[in-house]
Structure formats: C-alpha cells, structure tokens
Amino acid sequence: MSALRIVRQLPRSTATIRSFSAVPQRMAGEGSNTQSDAFSKREKANEDYYVREEEKKKLEALKKRIADKEADLAKDRKDMEDLSGEKK
C-alpha cells in the first residue's frame, strides 16, 4: 500500500518540473554533421563506382556479342560468295 502512495505522489511532485525545452534542439552537433556528410559522400562514391563497373561489364559483353555476330556475318558472306562463284 505504501508503494502505491509513492507512485501516486511522484507525479504530483514532478508535475511542476519541466523536463523538456520549448526550443527545438538538434540531435547532432556540427561535428557529427561533417562526419555524416563525409560518410554520405563516401557511400555515394562507392555506389557510383559499383554502377560504373557493372555498366563496364555489360558493355564488354555487348562488344563481345557484336564481334561474334560480325564474325558470323563475315563467314556467311564468304560462303555466299563461294556458292555464287561456283554457279557462274
């Protein structure tokens, strides 16, 4: 029963004490903003690097496919010339 009285009395005694400020405070100071900015820049640089590397791989694969198709086309043209030369 005495514990209930203490719990009931605490809100009355702390109700007059203001536990917060009316002025909004920033959660982080200037130093941590600089660290945050540096981290953001580093993270963006890493993401950009990854995207460039992936695009480079795709471009190399496309160039290889084009070279293979051009080789096939050259072979087909040679075969066509050989066949048309024999018929004449």
| Distance from C-alpha of 66 to C-alpha of 60, rounded to nearest angstrom | 10
Q: Is the pLDDT of residue 14 over 60?
A: no
Report pTM.
0.49
Asked if pLDDT for residue 30 goes beyond 80, the answer is no
Largest CA distance in the chain: 118
> Quick check: 35 pLDDT over 60?
yes
N-term to C-term CA, the chain: 118
**pLDDT at site 87:** 57
Instruction: Render pLDDT for 37-62 as a digit per residue (tens, 0 to 9).
Output: 999 999 999 999 999 999 999 999 99
C-beta separation of 36 from 28 below 8 A: yes
Residue that the structure tokens 């540096």 belong to: 38
Q: What's the DSSP call for residue 74?
A: H
Q: Which amino acid is at 80?
A: M
